[in-house]
Amino acid sequence: MSNQLQTVGNATTMNLNSVIYQNIVESPYLRTLGDLSTFQEIVAEAQRNVKSMEPFLKGTTPSTAWVLMYKFWTLPLTVRQLENLIEHPHSVFLRGIGFLYLRYVCKPDQLWDWLGPFLEDDQEITLQGGVKPVHSTIGKMCYMLLNDQKFLGQILPRIPVLVMRELEKKLEPYADAGRAKAGQRDHFKKEKSDHRDRDRDRGSSGRGGGRRDDHRDSSNRYDRDRDRSRSRDRGGRGGSREYDDYSRSSRRRSYSRSRSRSRDRYRDRRDDYRRRSRSKSPGRR
């Protein structure tokens, strides 16, 4: 490689999304960096102040990391300086800024040479800070930058189809380490779901979980025993039809007897009424 990094795209915006670019160039923090004109001065500023890699801190306020990345772009960085960033021994966030810088401006067919050797790097980095921080590793971050279309919600520069096909083949052995291909959020959701599954397994083996399982098992056994008892009463599977026929004929006979008794009672009441009527009639006195 020559000392000058070969870049592509817009020389002014650094290929950044128009929203975050506008917020960076209008940022009060960027104005405070006006006096920093050398690579070492910006490195020292990043070591002091960068705590995470998200693009926005709150609302539309750009993060320190992304403002400093753009400040590096105004120099711009040489190959040697980029090597110093991505291999920095004291700041993982300077390494993250270096990889992100490369993803935005480096020629697509050179991305693998820069990021590929770091896919197994397990140094931990905080991608998002705040109350619920999101942690990853340098290796996973490089996988996301090579494989995904977005990084923490920000659209990355498009990689040509042919180059992307080659990248996918090279990334395949690292798919498990990089987690899901559906988007960077899936990488962390899967890890959290694994923790929840393990907690649920531990809880079910405890005292409360065992009691619930025992209750379910006893309830299921009761239902099975009841069904078998009914089947035996009806003569098993083969005698169930005979039992049903017998039940229907019994109901018909019972209904016939009750209807006959009703007719007899009605006839008795009718006869009794006629006798009383004759006795009260004047012509019969």
89: containing domain: 18-186
What does the alpha-carbon distance between residue 135 and residue 52 come to, in Å, rounded to a whole number? 9
Mean of pLDDT values over 75-100: 96
| DSSP three-state, residue 69 | helix
**Range in 37-41, 143-147, 189-193, 214-218 the model is least confident about:** 189-193
What does the alpha-carbon distance between residue 38 and residue 40 come to, in Å, rounded to a whole number? 6
Nearest to 71 by CA among 91, 51, 110, 44: 44
Per-residue confidence (pLDDT) for residue 63, from 0 to 100: 97
User: Residue 199 domain-assigned?
Assistant: no
- Note whether 37 and 124 are same-domain residues: yes
- Note whether 180 and 102 are same-domain residues: yes
The first and second tokens of residue 8, run together, are 């592509």
> Which of 186, 207, 235 is the endpoint of a domain?
186
What does the alpha-carbon distance between residue 54 and residue 136 come to, in Å, rounded to a whole number? 12
Look at 200 and 141; give whichever has higher pLDDT.
141
User: Residue 12 domain-assigned?
Assistant: no
* 146 touches 172 (CB < 8 A): no
Mean of pLDDT values over 103-124: 96
Q: How many domains does the chain have?
A: 2
Per-residue confidence (pLDDT) for residue 207, from 0 to 100: 44
Bridge partners of 134? 128
Per-residue confidence (pLDDT) for residue 208, from 0 to 100: 47
Q: Strands 61-62 and 124-128: what pairing?
A: unpaired
Instruction: For residue range 133-174, list pLDDT tens digits in order.
Output: 999 999 999 999 999 999 999 999 999 999 999 999 999 998
Cα 137 to its chain centre, rounded Å, is 19
Instruction: For residue range 211-270, list pLDDT tens digits in order.
Output: 445 545 555 555 555 555 554 444 444 444 554 555 556 555 655 565 556 566 666 766
- Note whether 40 and 168 are same-domain residues: yes
Per-residue confidence (pLDDT) for residue 243, from 0 to 100: 47
What does the alpha-carbon distance between residue 73 and residue 60 come to, in Å, rounded to a whole number? 21
- Note whether 129 and 268 are same-domain residues: no
- Note whether 25 and 124 are same-domain residues: yes
* 56 touches 62 (CB < 8 A): yes
- Note whether 22 and 156 are same-domain residues: yes
What does the alpha-carbon distance between residue 68 and residue 265 come to, in Å, rounded to a whole number? 105
68 HSE (CA, 13 A, CB side): 27
Provide the H-helix boundaries in the chain.
18-25, 28-32, 39-49, 64-73, 79-86, 92-105, 111-115, 138-147, 161-171, 175-178, 184-205, 207-233, 236-280
Cα separation values, 202 from 67, 147, 205, 211, Å: 45, 35, 5, 14
Per-residue confidence (pLDDT) for residue 73, from 0 to 100: 96
Residues 169-184: b if buried by 16+ CB within 10 A, e if exposed: eebeebeeebbeeeeb
User: Residue 150 domain-assigned?
Assistant: yes
- Note whether 146 and 268 are same-domain residues: no
User: Residue 232 domain-assigned?
Assistant: no
Is residue 205 over pLDDT 60? no
- Note whether 146 and 266 are same-domain residues: no
Nearest to 66 by CA among 23, 34, 112, 108: 23
User: Residue 100 domain-assigned?
Assistant: yes
* 81 touches 45 (CB < 8 A): no
The first and second tokens of residue 252, run together, are 């018909």
User: Residue 219 domain-assigned?
Assistant: no
| DSSP three-state, residue 152 | coil
Query: Tokens 């007897």 belong to which residue?
Result: 257
User: Residue 155 domain-assigned?
Assistant: yes
User: Residue 118 domain-assigned?
Assistant: yes
Q: Look up the pTM and report it.
A: 0.63
Q: Strands 124-128 and 150-151: what pairing?
A: unpaired
